Structure 1
Amino acid sequence: MNQSTRHSFGNKLNEYSLHTRPMDHKKKILIADDDEDVLLLLRKILHDNGFEVQCLRNANTIVDGMSEWPDLFILNKEMAVIDGIAICKYPKLHKVASNIPIVMISGVDCQQKAKAAGVDCFIEKPLDTTKLLEAINHCLFVPH
């Protein structure tokens, strides 16, 4: 994570807790990103907002199979082992996971490719915490 991204996230930490809705049970979010700093920060933000969070540094685990599917995926587009767009196609093709929403984050403009691959919401880096939480709420709580 570069210094400007870290600074941008740091400035938002005090604002993010008011953007999620109360839940009867915790929604489970799986984050796949090969940047440990991003994973730690997203885990804190989402956990503090009432979500159960699972983090993966290697998105191949999604392809290898999961014992329990999340309520939402957050995938980074640019990962060393496998491209986020390639990996987001798998849950959409899997019978059990085909309706699980996907939020993609990326520092490159690939929104059209992401949407074509089944991404529900796309957020450009540097990440804005408010936009991220709004996208999550839209995917999880707004009827489609």
Structure 2
Amino acid sequence: MAAATILVIDDDVDVLIILRTILNEAGYQVKTGKDVTAVYEIEKDPPALLLIDNWLEGKTGHDICWQLKNDPRTRSIPVILISATTKLDETARRCGADDYICKPFDLAEVLRKVRSTIV
């Protein structure tokens, strides 16, 4: 059985490295992107999960999530927002995200939320 693919989008290279490392070690295939362009091909090769920073250059993660969740072709892709934003729980709920992770994050919490989101 092939490993589930997770797409991680964050403009902080250190966050990308940390998430890619822990998710790879947990057995997931990880693709990364530093900006909104990483979602352009999501319909052609949908990941099992999208982890996306709420504040990206050019577009917010919650706007991207809202668009994905309102498109029949991508609405089933689980999305977890990641941010240091206050009231991230409310933002995630409003845009239809499946969950959220507050920065700074606990690595065990990240893995727990990823595992519970990818069914």
TM-score, normalised to structure 2's length?
0.90
Q: Distance in 1 between matches of 2:55 and 2:79?
A: 15
Give the C-alpha shift of residue 113 in structure 1: 1.7
Matched, 1:136 2:111: no
Aligned residues: 117
**Which amino acid in the other structure matches residue 112 of structure 1?**
E
**Structure 2 counterpart SS, 1:26:** coil
Partner residue of 1:65 out of 41, 46, 49: 41
Matches within 5 A, 1:75-90: 75-90=52-67
Q: Distance in 1 between matches of 2:56 and 2:73?
A: 25
Partner residue of 1:51 out of 9, 21, 28: 28
**Structure 1 counterpart SS, 2:7:** strand
Matched, 1:32 2:9: yes
> What is the aligned-residue RMSD (CA, Å)?
1.3
Residues 67-102 of structure 1 deviation map (CA, whole Å, 9 limit, x = unaligned) = 201010001112222111111112212222211111
Structure 1 unaligned regions, length at least 5: 1-23
**Which amino acid in the other structure matches residue 61 of structure 2?**
G
Q: Distance in 1 between matches of 2:58 and 2:12?
A: 12
Residues 107-131 of structure 1 deviation map (CA, whole Å, 9 limit, x = unaligned) = 0122212111011111111111111
Give the C-alpha shift of residue 28 in structure 1: 0.5
What is the aligned-residue identity percentage?
27
Matched, 1:42 2:6: no
1:18 — aligned with what?
A: none
Larger radius of gyration: 1
**Which amino acid in the other structure matches residue 106 of structure 1?**
S
CA contact (8 A) 2:8 2:30 kept: yes
1:126 — aligned with what?
A: 104
TM-score, normalised to structure 1's length?
0.76
**Structure 2 counterpart SS, 1:53:** strand
**Which amino acid in the other structure matches residue 54 of structure 1?**
K
Structure 2 unaligned regions, length at least 5: none
